């Protein structure tokens, strides 16, 4: 037998994808009939971008895919659906979990990143008081500098300064 380097399926004219993945640049056929629904259609530029674009799916699209996946009963149907849509089985697992948590609310994408910190009134008051303390310390330092300057100036000019009465001198 002569080997041509092609598998039996390729010789029969059946396209074989490696690992069940689409080649780069091929977009999935959207399930949605309505424009604007379904996975985002990506127009691939031949240049490789620095940062990959994250796909986002609408709640309606997730719902339709889950319904289609639940209707798959024959062997290989679910895999074909996933390949056609360019999805992974982990997508279905996550979406099912979200659906169980709370139908459409659970299917909406969650905001990524750090969660905003709660504003604690005690911490805010502490920061305000620290800023006020710094401001007052600056004013005190300026006042002390002015007083020292006045003392030196009065010494140079020979003008005696009156000492303010203290509680000890009053008696």
Q: Are residues 127 and 63 in the same domain?
A: no
pLDDT for residue 32: 45
Whether 69 is in a domain gets the answer yes
Q: What is the pLDDT of residue 39?
A: 58
Any domain includes 49? no
One domain for residues 132 and 73: no
CB neighbour list of residue 99: distance below 8 Å, 6 or more residues apart: 62, 63, 66, 106, 107
112: confidence class by pLDDT, cuts 50, 70, 90? confident
Res. 34 pLDDT band, cuts 50 70 90: very low
Q: What angle is formed at CA 66 by the lines to CA 60 and CA 69, rounded to 5 degrees? A: 145
Q: Which residue, 62, 70, 68, 57, is CA-closest to 99? A: 62
* Closest residue by Cα to residue 104 from 143, 136, 72, 57: 57
Instruction: Looking at the structure, tell me whether residues 29 and 103 fall in a common domain.
Output: yes
Residue from 82, 114, 84 nearest 95 by CA: 82
Shared domain check, 32 and 103: yes
Total Cβ atoms within 10 A of residue 82: 19
Q: What is the pTM of this model?
A: 0.38
Per the structure, the complete domain to which residue 146 belongs is given by: 121-162
């Amino acid at each position: 037998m002569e080997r041509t380097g092609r598998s039996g399926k390729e010789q029969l004219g059946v396209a074989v994808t490696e690992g069940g993945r689409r080649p780069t640049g091929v977009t999935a056929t959207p399930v949605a009939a309505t424009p604007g629904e379904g996975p985002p259609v990506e127009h691939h530029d031949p240049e490789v971008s620095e940062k990959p674009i994250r796909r986002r799916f609408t709640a309606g699209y997730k719902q339709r895919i889950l319904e289609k996946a639940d209707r798959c009963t024959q062997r290989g149907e679910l895999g074909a659906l996933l390949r056609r849509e360019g999805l992974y089985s982990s997508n279905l697992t996550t979406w099912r979990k979200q659906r169980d948590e709370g139908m459409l609310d659970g299917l909406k994408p969650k905001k990524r990143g750090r969660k905003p910190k709660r504003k604690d009134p005690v911490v805010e008051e502490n920061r305000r008081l620290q800023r006020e303390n710094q401001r007052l310390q600056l004013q005190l330092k300026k006042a002390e500098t002015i007083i020292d300057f006045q003392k030196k100036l009065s010494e140079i000019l020979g003008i005696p300064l009156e000492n303010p009465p203290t509680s000890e001198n009053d008696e």
